[in-house]
Amino acid sequence: MSKKINNVAVIDLFCGIGGLSHGFVKENFKVVAGIDIDNTCKYSFETNNNSTFISKSVSDISKEEINKLFGKTKHKILVGCAPCQPFSSYTFKDGEKNDNNKWKLLYEFARLVKETEPDVISMENVSQLINFKKAPIFEDFLNSLRELGYFVHYEVVNCPDYGIPQNRKRLVLLASKLGEIKLISKTHNKENYVTVKDAIGKLPEIKDGEVYKKDRLHFARKLSPLNKKRIQKTPYGGSWKDWSDDLKLECHKKESGKSYPSVYGRMKWEEPSPTMTTHCIGYGNGRFGHPEQDRAISLREASLLQTFPIDYKFFDEKEEFFSSVVIARQIGNAVPVRLGEVVAKSIKEHLKQFK
């Protein structure tokens, strides 16, 4: 096992269950704390990352708290992914669903950077943030970093290009007080993308509503009788467009419904999956149907497509009950662990220049 990186401390804002943090842990960084308002994430974050979870809104975190957590370490790294729903394509289609308090959290991120001036920062978010029309939030974020003397690099990452088995585009920003910084080079291309089959193809077969006895996370939601008929009539890689009219929803029979071709769809083994969302185990919420089995993907399958290790702990095994809705939300909200590793590797390569 590689040695821990000395004299470097990482704090993860909006940490959730620790997808981004775990990428840093796998690259041997010390994550001293994660901060998130969702206390349901505490067990998973702390158990898997040997770190401290602080249940608090980033808006209420002071520079004194951040500086105390960093301590006297040589290099301070502040990372995070502000809640991205306000900047998503769904929000762009329906401005009424926009939550100003959420997108303003990125300004709180900028505030903490200004007040604590860490050596390196990383911010990850949906790619639509660059073109967000409600406010010049990304431009303001960039300007605040540059005014503080940071060297800034950002790009839209196509996740399969880095070995993530998921068609997901994410904005990744790196900034450093020390000098020029950039992401590591792509590790994959279309010839060797990691696929759905690579990620979940060896898991045991289960039925809808069933929990695999040796893995409680390998659970698929029970389908209604009608949805059971629908998935049985959905061919490999198909969707609701392949159904007879008696199975289609009324909205899909209208012209406006044709703009959602992938809902009630099956994934394909030989391709990366669609983007995992907070509703990733719901058959009607996207192309979340299993490629072959007549069910939606399980929680375990969603976690693997998000590149969480198979031994990642999402709930206390001593507890008899866990909420599949809560865990699905946690998984969907997470930064893919592999993307966290890419960010961590990039920062590690950067810091080697300044030993």
> In total, how many domains does the chain have?
2
CA-to-CA distance for 264 and 277, rounded, in angstroms? 14
User: Which residues have C-beta within 8 Å of that of residue 36, sequence separation ≥ 6?
Assistant: 14, 15, 16, 45, 53, 54, 55
Contact yes or no for 304/310 (Cβ under 8 A) = yes
pLDDT for position 71: 94
Same domain, 178 and 325: no
170 pLDDT higher than 50: yes
CA-to-CA distance for 22 and 49, rounded, in angstroms? 6
Taking the CB of residue 234, how many other CB atoms lie within 10 A of it?
21
Contact yes or no for 289/231 (Cβ under 8 A) = yes
94 pLDDT higher than 70: no
Asked if residue 191 belongs to a domain, the reply is no
**For residues 143-170, average pLDDT:** 96
The reply to whether 84 belongs to the active site is: yes
1 pLDDT higher than 80: no
Same domain, 140 and 227: no
Q: What are phi and psi of 238, to 5 degrees?
A: -90, -170
pLDDT for position 82: 81
Residue entry with tokens 């998503």: 88
Selected residue with higher pLDDT from 244 and 344:
344
- How confident is the model over 327-350, as pLDDT tens digits? 999 999 999 999 999 999 999 999
Same domain, 293 and 346: no
Same domain, 102 and 220: no
Q: Tell me the sheet residues that pair with 55.
A: 36
Range of the domain at 264: 196-333
CA-to-CA distance for 311 and 300, rounded, in angstroms? 10
Asked if residue 350 belongs to a domain, the reply is yes
Does the global pTM surpass 0.85?
A: yes
- How confident is the model over 249-266, as pLDDT tens digits? 877 666 555 556 668 999
Which CATH number belongs to the domain containing residue 72 in this structure? Answer: 3.40.50.150
Which CATH number belongs to the domain containing residue 303 in this structure? Answer: 3.90.120.10
User: Which residues have C-beta within 8 Å of that of residue 227, sequence separation ≥ 6?
Assistant: 264, 283, 284
Same domain, 173 and 232: no
Same domain, 254 and 285: yes
CA-to-CA distance for 86 and 95, rounded, in angstroms? 9
Asked if residue 202 belongs to a domain, the reply is yes
Residue entry with tokens 């940490």: 15
Same domain, 117 and 141: yes
Same domain, 144 and 255: no
pLDDT for position 258: 57
- What letter represents residue 24's amino acid? F
CA-to-CA distance for 66 and 73, rounded, in angstroms? 12
> Which of 15, 41, 81, 84 does the annotation list as catalytic?
84
Same domain, 325 and 345: no
DSSP 50: T
The pLDDT mean for the chain works out to 90
Asked if residue 228 belongs to a domain, the reply is yes
Same domain, 19 and 136: yes
pLDDT for position 83: 76
Same domain, 142 and 228: no
The least confident of 65-74, 301-310, 316-325 is 316-325
Same domain, 101 and 42: yes
CA-to-CA distance for 347 and 337, rounded, in angstroms? 15
